[in-house]
Chains A and B, each alone.
Chain A
C-alpha cells in the first residue's frame, strides 16, 4: 500500500507553515501526528499534492494555563495531554475523553489539535471541546483569529477553516468553579474503537445543591458533534436527582437524526444518546457534589 506521490515540506515556524498552506490551498494537508491522515493516504482516500509537516515548528507542543484558560498547542500529543497535571486538574474532561482515544501507542503520536481539526463526527476530542465551550486559535494569511467550537465543526470531517489556515492551539476555560464536575462516557464496540456514541458533561451546582448550569455534548449522532441544548435547559435550576436527570436526558434524542451504519442503527444511536447523556450528567453531578473536578 503506497500513498500517492506528494511534495514534502517541513517548515520551522508557523509563518512558514501558513505560507506553504496559503500557496497550495486545498492541495495541501497539515501533517502533525499523522494517525488519521497517513491512514487515509495509505488507502488513497486522501491524495494531497503537498504535505506540510509541522513537527519541526518550535513551541507548538506546549500545554499551559493562560489567562484563566488551558491552552493546548498543535503539537501536544494526546498522551501528553491525558497525563498532564494541568489538563487533569483544570480541564479534566479533556483528560478523561482523551483516555478513550484509540490505544497508547497511537495517542503517543496523535495530537489533540489534529483530532479536532480532522473533525471526525464520532471522535471524542471534538465533542469534548464543544462541551467545554472551547475555541480554536487559527493562524492564516491574514493573521490570527479565534473560532468558537460551536462555529468550528461544519460537517463530517469538515471545519470552517479557510484553505491556508492552521489551528495552532485549542483553548478551553479553566474549570475553577467550586461545586463543578465533568464526566465523559461512551459505548464502543471494542476497547479503543471510535465510540458508537459518547457524551461529555460539565455540571456546576449552586450553593443550595441545585444545578446552576450544565453543558452536554454528544458524538456519533450526526455529521458533527452536537450540544444537547434541550437537556441543558431542562437541567438548569433542577435538583440533581436521578429522576430529574433521567427526565432531562430523555430530551437528548429529540432533535437528532443520526446516520445508521453497521456499528449502530439510527434508532440505537438515539437510544444511546439518551443513556450516555444521563450517565455523563449523573457522574458529573456526583463529582460536583464531591467537590472533585476529576475522577
Chain B
C-alpha cells in the first residue's frame, strides 16, 4: 500500500489533522471521512459540476483534486451556507424563491459556483451567470430559473453584508 499523506486542512472553519490515502479524491474525503455529503458525486470525472466546492475561495471540482493536495488549504462546502439555526443563506433563499431547482442534485454545485461568482461580480447579468455556471449541468430546470435565481441573489447577498464585496478578477501580471 502506498504511504498515507499527512494533511492539515480547514473545512467550513473546522481544522482537521488527518492521514489520507494518496488516491482519495477531495470529494470522497469530504463525503466519506468528514461525513459532509453536500457535495454530490455526479459524473466523477469533471463534467457535471455537482461536486463543486471552494478551495481557498476558488470554485473547484472536488472530483478532480486529491485530498493530499489540500494541505494548508481552506475549504468551503455547501454545508457552510445555511446558519446553524437552519436559516437559509441569501443565495439559497433566491434559489427557493425563483424555483432554481427541482430535484436538487446539481444544486450544491450551483450554489457554490454562485458564491464564487458573487464574490467577483456582486451584481451579475444573465450572461455573466451563463459563463460562470456553464460547467454545471442541470437536468430539471432548463437553466433559466437558475439564472434568474443567481441574478436575484446578488442584491440579497449585498444587502445581507451591508455592502457588496469588490474583489476583482484582475490578475497581477
Contacts and interface: CB of A to CB of B under 8 A. Distances in A.
Interface of A: 1-8, 10, 31, 34-35, 38-39, 41-43, 51, 53, 55, 63-64, 79-80, 83-87, 102-106, 108-109, 191-192
Nearest to B46: A39
Contacts of B3: 7
A2 B63 CA distance: 10
Contacts of A41: 23
Contact of A55 (B1, B2, B60, B69): B69
B131 A104 contact: yes
B148 to A, nearest CB: 19
A169 to B, nearest CB: 15
Given A8-B68, A64-B173, A42 B113 contact: no
A33 to B, nearest CB: 8
Chain B interface residue count: which class?
20 to 34
A105 B66 contact: no
B2 A38 contact: no
Given A8-B68, A38-B66, A39-B64, A1 B135 contact: no
A84 B69 CA distance: 25
A75 B59 CA distance: 17
Interface in B1-21: 1-3, 5, 21
A5 B59 contact: no
B60 A108 contact: yes
B135 A51 contact: no
Contacts of A102: 135
A34 B26 CA distance: 12
A50 to B, nearest CB: 9
18 contacts: A5-B22, A8-B22, A8-B66, A35-B61, A38-B46, A38-B64, A38-B65, A39-B46, A51-B66, A63-B171, A83-B170, A86-B173, A104-B135, A105-B52, A105-B60, A106-B46, A108-B60, A109-B60
Interface in B119-173: 131-132, 134-135, 169-171, 173
Please give me the 9 A-B residue pairs with the lowest Cβ-Cβ distance, nearest first: A103-B135, A8-B22, A86-B173, A105-B59, A1-B44, A38-B64, A39-B45, A3-B23, A84-B173
B25 interface: yes
A192 to B, nearest CB: 5
B98 interface: no
A43 B47 CA distance: 13
Main secondary structure of the interface of A (DSSP, over half): mixed
A43 B23 contact: no
B74 interface: no
Contacts of B170: 83, 85
Given A34-B65, A38-B64, A103-B135, A6 B22 contact: yes
B58 A1 contact: no
Nearest to B133: A103
Contacts of B23: 2-6, 41
B90 interface: no
Nearest to A50: B2
A86 B116 CA distance: 25
Contact of B5 (A8, A43, A55, A109): A8
B45 A83 contact: no
A7 B45 contact: no
A104 B63 CA distance: 16
B100 interface: no
Contacts of B49: 103, 105
A42 B135 contact: no
Nearest to A62: B173
Contact of B64 (A4, A35, A55): A35
